A and B are shown apart, each in its own frame.
Chain A
Amino acid sequence: MTFRPEHELHKRRFGRNMGLGLTLVAFVVLVFALTVVKVQRGEPLQGFDHTYEPALLPKEETQP
């Protein structure tokens, strides 16, 4: 069985899909990189983990 040569229209569609796909991948990579930078730069995070943490209390509550 022989196939007809690919039509120019299909080539253009493939190029468009490929371009859009690569753009979306680049966008995801950029958002991920931005997230890593923002998180690394932020203050150290500390949350409630079911134990008493004096450091998390407001200052006036820790002072006698």
Chain B
Amino acid sequence: MSDTTAYQGVTATPYEPGFGDYVQLLKPRVMSLVVFTALVGLLVAPVHLHPVEAFAAILFIALGAGASGALNMWWDADIDAVMKRTARRPVPAGKVAGGEALGLGMALSGISIVMLWLATNWVAAALLAFTIFFYAVVYSMWLKRSTPQNIVIGGAAGAFPPMIGWVCATGSVSVEAFLMFALIFMWTPPHFWALALFMKEDYHTAGVPMLTVTHGRKATRAHILVYTLLLVPVALGAAVTSIGGPFTLAVAVVLNAWFVIGAFRIWRRDEAVAEADKYAVEKAFFRFSLLYLFLHFAAFLVELALKSAGLGGW
């Protein structure tokens, strides 16, 4: 075969994924949230790790999250293909084969769990293994397609990282770690239901039984309000533990007041009004929910800095 024919053969070759396509399988945006919350959980813990151990711990927690993302993309390729928001993901876009996503997810799961164990302790590694299992199997394979409570229960998977970060440092779970978990767990439903309110057609087309599809938008608005109210004691409770202080409590009061007002406004609206302003309130609530979680965890870090300066803490 001449060099020319070899070249022509290459031209006819189907798409080969690049390194970036594999990175996309790991859901880098979700990973950034995992890195941040796990880092906060690790830093506010009363035991301090060596910087190299801390770096390794965060890296392997993030890798575990990425692995579960790849497994989710493998399993949900059919759903992703029909939803506008996810149609450009590597598997439905035809850039990476489903089997490759499965292989990458399984391999990275094993690597991240074993390495987290070696870098920190077995409890943290076991929690990471459970998180991956929960997201890939319990949420993606079971809950997502079968119940409108998919977001509520499945939210646990995204809530584990700060608890794992804490356990990496201390070796055990405490009330602070549990409240950081609960903060994300209770925050997830209103966050995703607000998204579902203005992305309803996507979920409907894909046949995902989101609350908006199964119970309608009016019920979804009521659920957002109820879960936002349930979130308040969790957020305030975290602020009065050893990781909180007056500053954290003040931030929690302001953020939760604003969040409840937003949820109340969503609850009072009907579809005609929402359609008229193109879901402006729902979109604003969704955007604020991202800020809400970021600022809550940032407040824990600020409180830690204040404490080390002799100013913060209870």
With A13-B16, A16-B18: A30-B50 Cβ-Cβ less than 8 Å:
no
Cα–Cα, bound, A53→B211 (Å): 72
Q: Out of A15, A33, A41, name the residue touching B18 (CB < 8 Å).
A: A15
Q: Distance (Å) between the CB of B110 and the closest chain A CB?
A: 14
Complex contacts, A9 vs chain B, CB 8 Å = 10, 13, 16
Q: Distance (Å) between the CB of A27 and the closest chain B CB?
A: 9
Cβ proximity bits A1-22 to B, threshold 8 Å, 1 near / 0 not: 0001001011011011011100
Chain B residues 12 to 58 lying within 8 A of chain A, measured CB to CB, are: 13, 16-20, 22, 50, 52-53, 55-56
Interface size on B, residues (CB 8 A): 18
Cα–Cα, bound, A4→B56 (Å): 44
Complex contacts, B17 vs chain A, CB 8 Å = 12, 16
Cα–Cα, bound, A2→B61 (Å): 50
Q: Distance (Å) between the CB of A10 and the closest chain B CB?
A: 8
Cα–Cα, bound, A13→B194 (Å): 41
Whether A12 pairs with B16 at a CB distance below 8 angstroms is: yes
B residues sitting closer than 8 Å to A (CB atoms) are: 7, 10-11, 13, 16-20, 22, 50, 52-53, 55-56, 59, 118-119
Whether A28 sits at the interface, judged by CB under 8 Å, is no
Q: Which residue of A lies closest to B119 (CB)?
A: A34
A residues sitting closer than 8 Å to B (CB atoms) are: 4, 7, 9-10, 12-13, 15-16, 18-20, 30, 33-34, 36-37, 41
With A30-B56, A34-B56, A37-B53: A15-B118 Cβ-Cβ less than 8 Å:
no
Whether A12 pairs with B56 at a CB distance below 8 angstroms is: no
Complex contacts, B50 vs chain A, CB 8 Å = 37, 41
Complex contacts, A20 vs chain B, CB 8 Å = 19
Complex contacts, A37 vs chain B, CB 8 Å = 50, 52-53
Cα–Cα, bound, A13→B20 (Å): 11
Q: Give 9 CB contacts A-B under 8 Å.
A: A7-B11, A9-B16, A10-B10, A18-B19, A30-B59, A34-B56, A34-B118, A37-B52, A37-B53
Whether B11 pairs with A34 at a CB distance below 8 angstroms is: no
Complex contacts, B52 vs chain A, CB 8 Å = 30, 33-34, 36-37
Q: Distance (Å) between the CB of A38 and the closest chain B CB?
A: 8
Closest 7 pairs (CB-CB, A-B): A19-B19, A12-B18, A16-B19, A37-B52, A33-B52, A37-B50, A15-B19
